[in-house]
Amino acid sequence: MEKELDKAYDPKATEDRIYKMWEDGGFFKPTSATKPYSLNPKTYSIHLPPPNVTGSLHMGHALNATISDILIRYHRMNGDETVWFPGTDHAGIATQSVVDKQLKKEGINRWDLGREKFVEKVWEWREKYGNIIISQLKKIGASADWSRIRFTMDPEYAEWVKKVFIHYHEKGWIYRGKRVVSWCTACQTSLSDLEIEYKEEKTKLYYIKYPLQGEIATSTTEVGTRDDNSDVIASEEKQSYIIVATTRPETMLGDTAVAVNPKDDRYKNVVGKKVLLPIVGREIPIITDEKIDLTFGTGAVKVTPAHDLLDAEIGERHKLPFIQIINERGKMTAEAGKDFEGLKIAEAREKVVTELEKLGLIEKIEDYTHNLAICSRSATPIEPLLSDQWFLRMSEHPQVQSSKFKVESSGKSLRDSVLETIKSGETKIIPKNFEKVLTSWMENVRDWCISRQIWWGHQLPVFFCKKTLEANTKSQTLNPKQAEDFIVAAERPKTCPFCENCEMEQSQDVLDTWFSSALWPFAGLSEEDQKKFYPSSVLITARDIINLWVGRMIFSGLEFKGETPFPDVLIHATVLTKDGKRMSKSLGTGIDPIGLIEKYGADATRFGIIWQAMGTQDIHWDEAAVQAGKKFANKLWNIARFAQTRGADFKSDFPKSGLTPEDQEILGKLADLKKKTERGIGAYDFGQTIHKIYDFVWHELADVYIEKTKNRTDENVKIVLGGILADVLKILHPFMPFITEELYQRLIGGGVLITESWSGR
RNA sequence: GCGCCCUUAGCUCAGUGGUAGAGCGUUCCAUUCACAUUGGAAAGGCCGCAGGUUCGAUCCCUGCAGGGCGCACCA
C-alpha cells in the first residue's frame, strides 16, 4: 500500500488481477460477507439481455453491459441488495444454422444425422463455444453474479416453458391451425412477422390476360369501349380478357379467384362472372374485396390463397379453395400439374411465362422494384405457405377455462395487458418516444405463430395419438376432427386417451426462441430470487427488439407474476460507424470491443463508450473518445501519484476550519459533482455525467486546485487533496472500476472499493 | 402512406429564452515540476432554410429542405 505508484497506469497489469479479486471475494453476489447491509435494504436487479450462444461481444453488447454495470455498481455501493442476473439464449434458428454450416463443411447435413444426433451436436457446440461472450463480458468488467448464470434450455427453465404453454392452452389462448405462414425454404421452418426483413429487389411485373367466360365474353362492345377500362379489360376477336398484374406468375397455378375492389367501376360488369385460368384450365370466380388497391397494376388481382398472406385472408373470407403448389423445400408440388411438379420456383416461373407467351396471354412485362421479404437468418426469400402451426392468441378475449397452473389472471388479453401497463405508466419506456413503437405494434398485433419446424429448441409439450397421425399421413389432408387427437401435458402420458394402446408421439415442432426469452425475468430463477428480485429494477436493451422481446416479456410477466417485470425500460443508443452506417461484420464496418480493451484497457473503453452515449442519439463511433479515456485514466493515476508523494491524507474528515478560499471552492465543486452524478445516474444520463466527472477531475482538481496548492505543506491541504481523491475514486468507480479499485487498494486499503459506500465518508 | 428522431466548430457531439461549449484535429509558446498520455494560449460557428410568438429565439410554434429509423404496403 505504501509502494510508490508506477509512472503510468498499466491496465494490462491490473484488470485481470482486480477482476479475479472481486470474483473470488464473492462481491458480485447480492450480499457480501464483508459488507453488512442496512436492516431494510432496497433490492436492485437487472437481467442481462441473454446473448445468443452463437455470439461474441460487439459494440451493442459493450454499451449495454457498461450501462448495466454502472447502475449495478452504483446501487451496490449505495447499500442496495444488488444483483445482475446473467445468462445466454439458445437462439433456435440462429444456433441451428451455425451448426448446420459447420456440418456442411464436413460434408453432411442434419437429415443425414437425424434429429437426436443433430441436437447432441448442437449441445456439444454450445459447450465449446456457447460462453465466449460471457468471458468477454468479464473482460469489460461486468460485475454480474456468475453463480446465477442461466441458459434458456436449462431444465428448470424448460419446466417454466412447459408450464407457460400449458397455462395458455388451458385458457384457450393457444390453438393449432392450418394457416398460411411465412416460410423459409432454407431453414425449413415457419417464421414470425418479426423474423422477416425486406430487401429491395428489381424484378418484373407481368400483366397476364385471363380469358373471361360466359356471356360477358361476347359483349366486348360494352366492356371494351369504355375509356376507363380499356386498358384493364382487353378484347380480341370474340374473346375478352381481364388483365391481372403479378410479380410471381408461377403462383397462378394455384389461383382460385380474381379479386377487384368493390368500388372499382372498371370491373362492375364482370364481377360475379368467371375466368378460365390459363394453362390449368380451371374456372375461377371474379370476386370483390375491400383490401384490393384500385391504383396498383390493373386493379385486378389474381388470388392464390395458399401462397400469399393477403390472398389467404381473402381466401378465408370468400371460402376459396387453398391449392398448395409449392412445398416446404421450394419445389412445385403435384397440384401444380404434371409439367411443373418438381421444378424449382424460378424454373416454374420461366416455364409459366413461356407457356403464356405461346398462348399470347402476356399483355406486357414491366420493370418493377419492390421490397422482397427475406428470412432474417438465411436471407432466403420468404415463401408464404399453408402449414400446420401453433398460435398464441394476442388480442381476443377467449373464455378463460380453469387453469391447473395457479396464477391470478388479469382476465385481459395479452395485447391489452401491455397497452394498459404502458398507458398507466406502470411500465415506463425511456426515452418516451419509443413507447409508440411498442403500442402501435401491439394495437395491430396478429396472433403469434409460436411453432417452428427446427430441431434445436423447446419441443412443444404436445402429444399426438400415433394412430391418428398415421391416418392423417395416409390421407394427406388433415381431418379437422383428427387434428384434435392430441393432448397438452408436461410429461408423456402413460396411455393414449384416444386409442388407449399407442405410445403417444410428441410434437416434432419446437417453440419460437422468443417464447422462452419472454420468460427471462423470472424463468429459471430460484423461488427465493423470484420473491426477492421480481420485478427487476430496469431493463436495458436496444430498440430493435422492443417488439420481438420487450413486449412479450411484459405480457408474460403480467400474466404469470401479476406485475410488470420491470418498471423502467431503458432503450439505449445504437452504435453506428462514424459515417452513420450500421456496424456489420460482413461489411467490415464492425468495431471489436475486445480489441479496444487490449489496446486501451477496459476502463478507457467503457469511458469512450459512455462519453459518446448522450441521450437518445445514436452513436457515430469515434475511437478518439477511447483514447481520451486512456489519457484520463493516466491523468487520474498521476493525480494519485502526486497525492501519494505529497503525503496526502485519504482518510480524515474534511477540516471544518482553517480552509483557504481555494479549498472551499474545490470542496463546493466536489459536493456539486456528487449531486450531479447522483442525479445523472438516476436519470440514466450517463454521457453527461462522465463529462462532468472528467471536467472536475482534470480541469478543476488537476489544473486549478493542484496547481494553486503545489507549494502548500499544511495539514489541511493533505486532508483536502486526499479526501477529494478518495471521493473521486468512489464517484468514478461505477464508470471506470478497475483503475479506481487499484488506486483504492494501493493508496487507501482497508477494504474494497466495489462495496464502499458511494456517498458517505 | 403513417409515425418517430436528427441538422450547432474541420470531424464526433453537448447545451441554454439574454456574450455559444467539450473531445479529437489545426497553429503558436512552454518543458529537469505528478503526468509529453503534459501545461498555457490561439484560430475556427448567419446554431439547416423561411416565417411566427417575444423586448429578445440556436432554444418555443408552423412550414420547408436534407439525413436517419420504425410500421404498413409491396398482387
Tell me what pLDDT residue A359 has.
81
Instruction: Give the CA A372 to C1' B10 distance in Å.
Output: 41
Helices A686-694 and A661-682 cross at an angle (nearest 10°) of: 170
Residue A547 neighbours by CB distance under 10 Å: 18
How long is the CA A717 to C1' B25 vector, in angstroms?
Answer: 37
Nearest nucleotide (C1') to alpha carbon of A685: B14
Report residue A756's pLDDT band, with 50, 70 and 90 as the boundaries.
confident
**Phi, psi (degrees; rounded to nearest 5) at A167:** -60, -50
Protein residue at shortest CA distance from C1' of B67: A580
> Which bases in strand B are touched by protein, i.e. have an atom under 7 Å from a CB?
3-6, 11-15, 22-24, 34-40, 67-75
**Protein-to-nucleotide distance from the CA of A572 to the C1' of B51, whole angstroms:** 36
- Which nt has its C1' nearest the CA of A432? B4
> Would the pLDDT of A189 be above 80?
yes
Distance from residue A735's CA to nucleotide B12's C1', rounded to whole Å: 21
pLDDT at A98: 84
**Separation between Cα atoms, residue A541 and residue A548, nearest integer Å:** 12
The C1' atom of B50 and the CA atom of A617 lie apart, in whole Å, by: 27
Q: What is the mean pLDDT of chain A?
A: 84
**Among all strands, which nt has the closest C1' to A295 (CA)?**
B75
Helix, strand, coil percentages in chain A from 3-state DSSP, rounded to 5: 45, 20, 40
Decide if pLDDT at A168 tops 80: yes
The H or E element that residue A50 is part of is: none
Stretch A217-243: mean pLDDT, rounded? 56
Query: Residue A233 — pLDDT band, cuts 50, 70, 90?
Result: low
CA A694 / C1′ B30 distance in Å: 24
Residue whose CA lies closest to nucleotide B23 C1' = A625
Owner of C-alpha cell 445468443: A52
**Residue A737 CA to nucleotide B43 C1', Å?**
38
- The pLDDT value given to residue A225: 38
Q: Please, which residues have CB within 8 angstroms of residue A130's CB and are 6 or more apart in sequence?
A: A53, A88, A151
Mean pLDDT check: name the lowest of A33-37, A117-121, A273-277.
A33-37
- For range A599-623, the mean pLDDT: 90
Percent of chain A with pLDDT over 90: 36
- Res A201 pLDDT > 70: yes
pLDDT for A205 equals 84
Mean pLDDT of A134-154: 95
Sequence-ordered list of residues with C-beta below 8 angstroms from that of A729, at least 6 positions apart, any chain: A740, A743, A744, A748, A753
Tally Cβ neighbours within 10 Å of residue A304.
29
What sections of A78-214 are H helices per DSSP?
92-105, 110-113, 115-129, 132-139, 155-171
Question: Which single residue is written with the C-alpha cell 453476489?
Answer: A29
Distance A607 CA to B46 C1' (A): 36
- Nearest Cα to Cα of residue A400 among A168, A607, A195: A168
Nearest residue to nucleotide B37, by CA–C1' distance, is: A631
Mean pLDDT of A146-154: 95
Q: Which nt has its C1' nearest the CA of A193?
A: B71
> Which nucleotide C1' is nearest A643 CA?
B34
Asked whether A306 and A325 are in contact (CB, 8 A), the reply is yes
Q: Which nucleotide is nearest to A206 (CA to C1')?
A: B75
Report the alpha-carbon distance of residue A759 to residue A761 in Å, rounded.
7
Residue A405: band (very low, low, confident or very high) from pLDDT cuts 50, 70, 90: very low
Distance of alpha carbon A699 from alpha carbon A747, whole angstroms: 22
Residue at the smallest CA–C1' distance to nucleotide B13: A612
What's the CA–C1' distance between A270 and B8, in Å?
62
**Cα distances (angstroms) measured from residue A282 to each of A77, A211, A274, A339:** 76, 11, 10, 16
Average the pLDDT over each of A112-116, A341-345, A704-708 and give the range with the smallest value. A341-345
The contacts of residue A115 (CB under 8 Å, 6+ apart) are A455, A508
Distance in Å from B20's C1' to A325's CA comes to 67
Helical packing angle, A593-600 and A624-645, nearest 10°? 30
Give the closest nucleotide to A261 (alpha carbon vs C1').
B75
CA distance between the termini of chain A: 20
- Among A385-394, A407-416, A492-501, A504-513, whose mean pLDDT is lowest? A407-416
Res A270 pLDDT > 70: yes
Average pLDDT over residues A722-738: 95
Quick one: pLDDT band at residue A236, thresholds 50, 70, 90?
low
Question: Which has more pLDDT, A155 or A291?
Answer: A155
What is the mean predicted confidence (pLDDT) over A135-147? 95
Asked if residue A551 lies in contact with residue A438, where contact means CB atoms within 8 angstroms, the answer is yes
Q: Is ipTM beyond 0.90?
A: yes
For the CA of A688 and the C1' of B47, the distance in angstroms is 20
| pLDDT score at A224 | 38
User: Is the predicted pLDDT of residue A114 greater than 50, yes or no?
Assistant: yes
Which nucleotide is nearest, taking the CA of residue A289 and each C1'? B75
pLDDT of residue A746: 92
Query: Nearest nt (C1') to A613 (CA)?
Result: B13
Which nucleotide minimizes the distance between its C1' and the CA of A611?
B23
Query: CA(A580)–C1'(B66) in Å?
Result: 15
Instruction: State residue A155's pLDDT score.
Output: 95
Residue A312, pLDDT > 70, answer yes
Q: Which helix (H) or strand (E) holds A384?
A: strand A382-392
How far, in Å, is the CA of A371 from the C1' of nucleotide B73?
10
Query: Residue A136 corresponds to which cell in the numbers above?
Result: 468477454
Determine the Cα angle at A523 with ends A519 and A526, to 5°: 160
Q: Which residue is nearest to nucleotide B6 (CA to C1')?
A: A617
What pLDDT is stored for residue A231 in this prediction? 63
Q: How far apart are CA A260 and CA A212, in angstroms?
A: 14
Residue A76 and residue A113 in contact, taking contact as beta carbons nearer than 8 Å: no
8 A C-beta contact, residue A721 and residue A701: no
Q: Which residue is nearest to nucleotide B22 (CA to C1')?
A: A691
In A577-730, where do the E strands start and end? Answer: 619-620
Laid out side by side, the sheet with A282-288 consists of A274-277, A282-288, A257-260, A300-303
Comparing A25 with A479, the larger pLDDT belongs to: A25
Average pLDDT over residues A68-74: 95
